[in-house]
Amino acid sequence: MKITKIDTSLYRFPAHRKIVDAIQEFTHMEVIAATIYTDEGTSGMGYSYTIGRGGRATKVLLDSEVVSLILGEDPADIERLWEKMWWSLHWVGRQGLVSLAMAAMDIALWDLKAKHAGLPLYKLLGAARDKMPVYDTDCGWLNHSQEELVREASVLVQQGFTGIKIKVGKEKRSEDVERLRVVRKAIGQDTKLMVDANLRWSAGEAIARAQLFEEFDLFWLEEPIEADDVLGHEKLRQRTSIPIAVGESLYNRHVFKEYLARGAATILQPDVGRVGGVTEWLRIAHMAHSFNVSVSPHFLMELHIHLACAVPNALWVEHIPFLNRFVQEPLSVEEGYAFPPNRPGHGVLFNQQKSEPHLVETNSWPCE
């Protein structure tokens, strides 16, 4: 089997609501997609994303560097092709744009492989389970008032969600504390409550805030400190009983390894669209398992449902319905659980009628 053509596309999807966290406002999701075609008439699609900037640069890298590395290759050789992309491009980036461009291609390769096997991706990868609990983040943006937080969180609990995450990082510590207080009261003690600071604090400020948060029985405190500050996270872990979650801003297994080796994180949150695809995501998850550490992937629930179902140490899938308007079949969620689609591949299909108005650029690259 041989890859005979690759199509690439860039979409710029507007946010479904106003989204603000402690360091940024999220107005658009840029989706960088790659579709590979073979001489057997089969195809696979993968995609990565940005939160509003860098999408065009990622697509330029995908088109100018990654496509030529994959065209003409045997798509079954996924490990070899991942290493080929990594070592061909490591000099210009072992994270960031290179990882994003690699992810789109690697996910497409896995989609194709699962289709050839006639299996849903999670089944191909081993199927540790066939459903995953979901926690909701969409109810808890930092721009939401206390009344909005309480109203939306309460509805989600009634719908069966067993986990709620809200953003923290207000200027005044007392504001964060009060938001946590009203949400915890609204959802009760049996619902897991997580918070996310989006890299906002220094280690000292994170320690101070964590001490104030202790009374709310938090399931985790996410990204409290700059992601590259492993020592800061290690200090924080030594000063709080709240589990620490990190990973959405880490781009390869080597950085995750530092957190594991130093005991600086309790829960890892690798993002398949940012770590270079399914191949690297699985490496990170299995490495975490050897440290008896759980994974709870960040965003991209449509893809992560397969990966979380495939490994035994996954905790949750994060529910943010950003792509629901643009895919043919949104992720199935019932009574607090998400279910992977049972069709071959990862099953994500963009609704052309709804997505094409947001198409920025598309290119086709045939094998010469």
Tokens of 5: 């053509």
How far is 47 from 302, CA to CA, in rounded Å?
A: 11
Q: Does residue 347 lie within any of the structural domains?
A: no
Query: Which entry of 59, 123, 165, 167 is annotated as an active-site residue?
Result: 167
Instruction: Output the domain CATH number for residue 97.
Output: 3.30.390.10
Residue 307 near residue 125 (C-beta atoms within 8 A): yes
For β-strands 267-268 and 244-246, DSSP reports them as parallel
Give percent of the chain above pLDDT 90: 98
Q: Does residue 344 lie within any of the structural domains?
A: no
Average pLDDT over residues 292-306: 98
Which tens digits make up the pLDDT trace of 214-241?
A: 999 999 999 999 999 999 999 999 999 9
How far is 181 from 170, CA to CA, in rounded Å?
A: 14
Residues 128 and 13 in one domain: no
Q: Does residue 346 lie within any of the structural domains?
A: no
Query: Which entry of 116, 165, 192, 298 is annotated as an active-site residue?
Result: 298
Q: Does residue 73 lie within any of the structural domains?
A: yes
Neighbours of 185 (CB within 10 A): 11
Provide the pLDDT confidence category of residue 309 given band limits of 50, 70 and 90: very high
pLDDT at res. 94: 87
Residue 359 lies in domain: 3-118+352-366
Neighbours of 238 (CB within 10 A): 10
Residues 267 and 297 in one domain: yes
Provide the pLDDT confidence category of residue 302 given band limits of 50, 70 and 90: very high
Residues 185 and 82 in one domain: no
Average pLDDT over residues 307-319: 98
Q: Does residue 12 lie within any of the structural domains?
A: yes
Q: Does residue 96 lie within any of the structural domains?
A: yes
Residues 50 and 98 in one domain: yes
Residues 240 and 329 in one domain: yes
Provide the residue type at 216 as one letter: F
How far is 282 from 357, CA to CA, in rounded Å?
A: 34
Provide the pLDDT confidence category of residue 147 given band limits of 50, 70 and 90: very high
Residues 234 and 113 in one domain: no
Which tens digits make up the pLDDT trace of 275-287?
A: 999 999 999 999 9
Q: Does residue 345 lie within any of the structural domains?
A: no
Residue 124 near residue 113 (C-beta atoms within 8 A): yes
Residue 139 near residue 366 (C-beta atoms within 8 A): no
DSSP reduced 3-state for 238: helix
Tokens of 360: 């920025």
DSSP reduced 3-state for 365: strand
pLDDT at res. 290: 97
Residues 74 and 181 in one domain: no
Instruction: Output the domain CATH number for residue 150.
Output: 3.20.20.120
How far is 154 from 159, CA to CA, in rounded Å?
A: 9
Residue 197 near residue 220 (C-beta atoms within 8 A): no
pLDDT greater than 80 at residue 306: yes
Tokens of 339: 């279910």
pLDDT at res. 93: 86
C-alpha triplet 261, 272, 268: angle, nearest 5°: 30
Residues 333 and 216 in one domain: yes
pTM (two decimals)? 0.97
pLDDT greater than 80 at residue 368: no
Look up 167 and say whether it is catalytic.
Answer: yes
Residues 110 and 163 in one domain: no
pLDDT greater than 80 at residue 40: yes
Residues 43 and 131 in one domain: no
- The total domain count for the chain is 2
For all residues of the chain together, what is the average pLDDT? Answer: 97
> How far, CA to CA in Å, does 266 sit from each of 22, 161, 208, 263, 300?
22, 22, 19, 7, 21
pLDDT at res. 48: 98
Which tens digits make up the pLDDT trace of 183-215?
A: 999 999 999 999 999 999 999 999 999 999 999
How far is 140 from 152, CA to CA, in rounded Å?
A: 8
Look up 298 and say whether it is catalytic.
Answer: yes
Residue 55 near residue 32 (C-beta atoms within 8 A): yes
Q: Does residue 68 lie within any of the structural domains?
A: yes
Residues 173 and 232 in one domain: yes
Residues 225 and 304 in one domain: yes
pLDDT at res. 159: 94
